[in-house]
Amino acid sequence: MNNTFMSKKSENPEVAAEQPQAPVSAPLGEDTKISLSLGELKSLLATTNGNSQDNVLTSLVAALDNLRKPYEDPAQKANREAARKAMRDLIERQKIELANARDNCVHTQGCNPLSEKMGDMSSLIFHTLDTGEMIGLCTVCQKTFRSDDPEYQVQMRRKSGNRPSAAGRRFFADPLAAIAAGRQ
């Protein structure tokens, strides 16, 4: 037997009396997850008294509510907001470009800058709505010409390279009111 080991242990009683120490860890931050058993939670609440117990319960309920919320990375949130702003700016630019295109369109076949050949006929589609109103729709700029538009008569007299279309036919007691309601 190895008596030297036993004798060293008995010679120094302080070493024998020491209990094992828990590993030292970094301080807990707000993002650190902890778990408590129901018994530990009850004993924690039992140690608080009266008014402070209500404060602990309120704090605990608020903390549990916050646990239900998903974590949102601030960088991702900023990135999403920047993407939304860029999309709003793009849509605004597209609206301005569309308004400019409609104002500058001559409504003839091939008037699109990407077209190779320009024709002498109108690019309008003559369409009859189900209310009976006939409108003109430019296939280049998507501008709609209605009967109250000052350009309507001029554009509708031009010969079109497109075939007329219709949405079907309904009969109304007051067709003018139906046409007005369709414009809203």
| pLDDT at 26 (0 to 100) | 52
Specify the range with the lowest mean pLDDT, choosing from 21-25, 129-133, 146-150, 152-156.
Answer: 21-25
| pLDDT at 77 (0 to 100) | 92
pLDDT digits (tens, 9 = 90+) for 84-121: 999 999 999 999 988 888 888 888 887 777 777 777 88
| pLDDT at 4 (0 to 100) | 47
Arithmetic mean of pLDDT over the chain? 77
Residues 6 or more apart whose Cβ sits within 8 Å of residue 164 = 125, 126, 127, 128
Model confidence at 146, pLDDT cuts 50, 70, 90, reads confident
Specify the range with the lowest mean pLDDT, choosing from 42-46, 60-64, 112-116, 119-123.
Answer: 42-46
On the 0-12 / 13-18 / 19+ scale of CB atoms within 10 A, 133 is: middle
For 95-113, the DSSP string reads HHHHHHHHHH---BTT-ST
Residues 6 or more apart whose Cβ sits within 8 Å of residue 114 = none
| pLDDT at 9 (0 to 100) | 46
| pLDDT at 8 (0 to 100) | 47
Note the residue count of the chain: 184
How many Å apart are CA 99 and CA 106, to the nearest integer?
Answer: 14
| pLDDT at 86 (0 to 100) | 97
Model confidence at 83, pLDDT cuts 50, 70, 90, reads very high
Token couple for 159: 């010969």
